[in-house]
Structure 1
Amino acid sequence: MDIIRRESGVTRADLSLMTGLSRSAIAEAVQDLLNDHLVAEDVLEPGGKGAGRGRPSALLVATPPRGVVVGVDFGHDHVGVAVADTEGTVLAEQTSAVNVDGQGRAALDAAAGMASRLLSQLGLGRDQVLSVAAGIPAPLDVQSNRIRAVSIMPGWTRLNPADELSGLFGRRVITFNDAELGAQGEMRFGAARGLRDFVYIKASEGIGASLVLNGSVYRGSLGLSGEIGHTRLSDQSQGLWCRCGNRGCLETVVSSVLVAERMREVGLVAADEIFPLAAAGADPVTSAIVTEAGRTLGRVLADLCNWLNPAGVVLGGALGSAGQPFVDGVRESINRYAHPSAAEAVEVKTAQLGLRSELLGAVAVACHEALYVG
């Protein structure tokens, strides 16, 4: 099954060559898969792949399992839920404003309720959900599945997100850090398709990163990799206090909240308005503020380029939605501070999926679970 899925279709002869098994063994195994409706046969045209002089060969392709998957994105101030088929096509989705950081139980209930409503709208039952994946906007310990930095999300202090969601959905739920899912979304559906070594940055209220090395997300020994928002920019003891307990961290200088405050200070937006980052390229003052934020972030990413030599940096989150001015600032600092060869090798671009990167990443992980594990 792994070979058939990976190759997007193979003949019985191909399977024999790839596995070293005899034709009779392959025939028996394939018949079992056909009987279980896990694969289907697609007769090849004459002269096509695997076709010979005699009877046309049949290309074996994986049959998508019947059912749907659910992806959940917990932001600091919102919950997003999507229901998709097993190939990743979103059938329905909804996002609602929720105080996720301070009201963990309410956020979890909101996610389950939204999923139930979406399934009902599609005429589906929970028994048709094959897998569920969710992103949490905080460091997650891979051993305990608990949030390690409770100062970031105080309303989740005694909650285990995976266990709580599994109870609400009535099935096992996979949980990841939200930046990790952003990387998965861009790798499957967006700007990182085809890249095997890249860094995804979620630049919103905080600054988080996900490292994709040789095609796989690198999580670290405890799952806490990518917390670049807590990189100290200098040794100055008088820097601003960070929520991690240190002074002068990157996210005390760069975040969507700080950019919004700066824009309000210069009169670009009213206090109750959402700052117009999408128009950053059109307004010179907004562009200058966003570009400077990019320069500061790029100084940290330049060191990361020296360490890892990635092929790409994908900028997501609210600041990523500002587009080219943010890219220009990051690019400028990487060019200035990274080794010239490492700087030349890396492409800097914004997330193609925009603010949906994490939600679609949850869908991608749920699809993988349904197809390859479930």
Structure 2
Amino acid sequence: MMNLNSVVLGIDLGGTKILSAAVDRQGKVLCRDLTPTPVASGHPGVIEAIKESAGRAIGHKPFDTKAVGLAAAGLVESAGGIVHTSPNLPGWTDVSITQELARTFGKPVFIINDAHAAAIGELKYGAGRGCRHFIFITLSTGIGGGLVLDGKIYEGFSGFGGEIGHMVIDDDGPECACGNRGCWEMLASGKALEREARRRIASGEPTSILSYCRPEPERAQIDCLNAKTIHTAAVNGDILALELIKRHAYYVGVGLANIVNIFNPERVIIGGGLSNIGDLLLKPAIEEAARRAFKQPFKGVRFMKAELGADAGVIGAAALAWNHVM
């Protein structure tokens, strides 16, 4: 029997932050540490920051730590414990991260793509409970996806499956960091919304969006706008902000229709910062998906808001580790 203080350490490695948490078997976060990701220091500096963050999360608590689960953005080979490339971690190429962390912690370390981790978290503890076929989508700075098919996370032949943010929805669209053009991420992500807002403001369109920006040292005001700024302006009736969100909803809806047609899911679970815009974005997006998707699979799908919020990745990484040690 495991004692009451048995935990796994979940770590969510992102381009801006590292979240480490002790998580029990029920998916409850018992303690945590949040620290900036020192991307400029390369993978040695980031790995050192992970170790330090994990140490602070556990501290001197009387935990029996069984294993470590790590979620990371990018092309992650779970079986080999390798981050091949990551858009959020410049310079990372074929980094064998689990071996080094295992030596530090003296525990087995398991790694998975961050969106896959979030999908596992929602499957076990969130909006995916009791559902065998769902697609998890994170609408954030970029767009990530996790595919739960027949009750299991689907990673594909090499572990790189689920990159729904890079399906092309406009072959004449803006160039993506992946090298393609018109990826869903380039048209429906938070970064895309901000880019279009800056373009239209710079062209002289009247708007109150910038009045909601929080000024930052040594940055132009227009560079401080974000999706939350645009949402706030829209809620207060700004015409340009409302137009921007309406345009964005169109592109979100196009991608949702493709997902419904390809996977015929029971649920589509939507998380990430952009989902906080709520019905102003999601309602017209779902209506657009309804116009484009096959009628029968669309009738059967249920669109849901993710339940785990910013903890989805770290809880999912912990769930992955628990799956290996229970």
| Aligned alpha-carbon RMSD (Å) | 2.5
* Structure 1 position 94, deviation (Å): 2.0
Matched, 1:272 2:224: yes
Q: 2:218: which partner in 1? A: none
Q: Distance in 1 between matches of 2:319 and 2:234?
A: 31
Amino acid at match of 1:94: D
Amino acid at match of 1:108: I
Tell me which moved more, 175-184 or 298-307.
298-307
**Which of the numbers 218, 232, 247 marks the counterpart of 2:181?**
247
Matched, 1:309 2:275: no
Determine if contact 2:194/2:225 at 8 Å carries over to the other structure. Answer: no
Which has the higher Rg, Structure 1 or Structure 2?
1
TM-score, with normalisation over the residues of structure 1? 0.74
* Structure 1 position 294, deviation (Å): 3.2
* Structure 1 position 64, deviation (Å): 6.0
TM-score, with normalisation over the residues of structure 2? 0.84
Matched, 1:330 2:285: yes
Amino acid at match of 1:258: A
Q: What secondary structure, in the 3-state scheme, does the structure 2 residue paired with 1:276 have?
A: helix
Structure 1: state its 5+ residue gaps.
1-37, 39-62
Deviations 1:215-258 (A, max 9, x none): 1101110111111121111333xx32211111222222222122
* Structure 1 position 100, deviation (Å): 4.2
Matched, 1:207 2:159: no
Matched, 1:289 2:228: no
Q: 2:191: which partner in 1? A: 257
Matched, 1:159 2:112: no
Q: 1:221: which partner in 2? A: 157
Amino acid at match of 1:216: K
Determine if contact 2:142/2:189 at 8 Å carries over to the other structure. Answer: yes
Amino acid at match of 1:363: A
Amino acid at match of 2:9: V
C-alpha distance 297-77 of structure 1, shift in aligned 2 (>3 A): same
Amino acid at match of 2:179: G
Structure 2: state its 5+ residue gaps.
202-206, 214-220
**Which structure is richer in relative contact order (CA contacts within 8 A, separation 6 or more)?**
2
Deviations 1:328-352 (A, max 9, x none): 1331222011111111111112211
Determine if contact 1:73/1:134 at 8 Å carries over to the other structure. Answer: yes
C-alpha distance 338-291 of structure 1, shift in aligned 2 (>3 A): same
Matched, 1:79 2:18: yes
Matched, 1:347 2:286: no
Q: What secondary structure, in the 3-state scheme, does the structure 2 residue paired with 1:240 have?
A: coil
Q: Distance in 2 between matches of 1:293 and 1:254?
A: 6
Q: Distance in 2 between matches of 1:132 and 1:226?
A: 23
* Structure 1 position 354, deviation (Å): 1.7
Counting aligned pairs with the same residue, the percent is 29
Tell me which moved more, 210-219 or 101-110.
101-110
Q: What secondary structure, in the 3-state scheme, does the structure 2 residue paired with 1:140 have?
A: strand
Q: May I ask how many residue pairs the two structures share in their alignment? A: 305
Q: Distance in 2 between matches of 1:302 and 1:326?
A: 15
Q: Which runs of 4+ in 1 moved over 6 A?
A: none
* Structure 1 position 200, deviation (Å): 0.3
C-alpha distance 256-155 of structure 1, shift in aligned 2 (>3 A): same
Q: What secondary structure, in the 3-state scheme, does the structure 1 residue paired with 2:83 have?
A: coil
Amino acid at match of 2:154: Y
Q: Distance in 2 between matches of 1:258 and 1:267?
A: 19
